[in-house]
Structure 1
Amino acid sequence: MAVLMDGKNSWEIDLMMLHSELLFREYAASTTEVYMRVTKDFLEFTDKDILYMSKQDIIRYLDFLLQDRGESENTILVKLNALEFFFEEVMNMEITKNITKYKRQEGGRIVTIDELSLLLASIPKRERILFKTILEVGKHPKEVLEYKVQDLESREEGWFLRGHKIKKELAKEMIDYTEQNEIEGYIFGIQEKKMHVTNVYLLLRKYTKEFLGEQLTLSELRHSVALEFWRKGKKEEMMEYIGNKSMASIKQWYKKRGILLED
């Protein structure tokens, strides 16, 4: 193992620099933990002085994760993202540039429900409730941003948001959030004003890149949720949720991403 004269790892100071940079940029605690763990694992795996590392060391490490540890492509994307931050932003090295082997191929992929849960669990409360609401009611973000506190109501059949039934868990999160922040108007407002829809897409790009390793669209996330309808045999609900009345078109969308929907 590469060590300094005093016996410490030669990259220990570099890890401290990484930690300081993540804190300075106000990265979430969970992201900081992941980036630190990934970088340390890579440095221990490579066992070289950082100045002598190359792009091939990065590729060899990622291949090891895929082939020997059996990690998913998405997990590897997250780890590549962490290494890109470390080398490009902290060390000012370009050995992670243009590593396209693990990048998403044309046609995209399907985010798993576990990955979606990870994303929602990792982001701030307001954004978590916002994205959960968009995915649950299946409406365009512009419509969801119109929702106000008084639109949430309890009925005998359950909780409803402007006539759309939502899960009790989401309703409770929404109530706790609005009460804690003394919100009386728009649920997802900014200083009592309605959030602009552009912010939704910017936040989505930011957090999917940060926690899933790549920028994803609401359509891609919705299709992940819709796949659960299919697995439960709820084809009509699936078409209604996606907003596409053509099952042939829906099947083609999934086929391009490597998933065959068979009757």
Structure 2
Amino acid sequence: MMWLPFLYPAPASAYVAAMSAVSFVSMANAGLAELRGDHMPYSKFWHAVAGAAGGDARQRGGMPLLRSRDGMLLAYAPALLAAAASFAVPGAVEGARAELLSAALAAHFLKRVLEVLCVHRYSGSMPLGTAATISCSYLVSTATMVYAQHLSRGLPDPAVDLLCPGVLVFAVGLAGNLYHHRLLSGLRADDGTGYKVPRGGLFGLVACPHYLFEILAFFGFAMISQTLYALAVATGTAAYLAGRSCATRRWYRSKFQDFPPRIKALIPYVL
């Protein structure tokens, strides 16, 4: 079978091959779980911790809790450190493609950390186990993406070069995600509680434009990298966020009678 013209040949690594399958299957399964109403225990969908807050970890049903801000920092900071540290590991980042991939990963998670500190408003708490699971997932996927790129050195280049378009797609995804996160933050009350129907940007067309742009950012990674692993992560992320977007739209319709039925979940006029 001929390899896809826009990907490097798969490296001789059982680890990368296994992680490509695991990443896609686990994320796609998480998306299906969101559609079924089995949500990850954080954000507005996790009613069991509604109203929980405080500076120290608390217990609810035997589950340690963190403040949401601390939980999200734990989720994102290790991946940021891994992406930044890849530049300091001898031989890990060689060539323009590898440098741009590590820089894009670092920029993505730096943006997330800065949003946690400066943009998002919070209510409630996050289970320590959930924060640790998300953190490990992002850390492993970031390190493996860099490693898979390293293994592509010396392999035949893809027939179709997507590096420059990938940088553009990533930049659009990063900027669009930040813009819509700022719009969402402005809807929250000063104390961080309460929800409203989002307005502005692409919220007039879809319930979750911030997820749409996050998917673009991940496909930007895949286009910069052009490895099977990066594509598997991007596709799995798209499947998960599509499921979460549908769940979000369903939640809005259940809570707000004035939520326009014409608004789709993720893709304008389509989904």
- Please say whether Structure 1 and Structure 2 have the same fold, judged by a TM-score greater than 0.5: no
Tell me which of the two structures has the higher relative contact order, counting C-alpha pairs closer than 8 angstroms and 6 or more residues apart.
Answer: 2
**TM-score of the superposed pair, with normalisation by structure 1:** 0.27
Structure index of larger Rg: 1
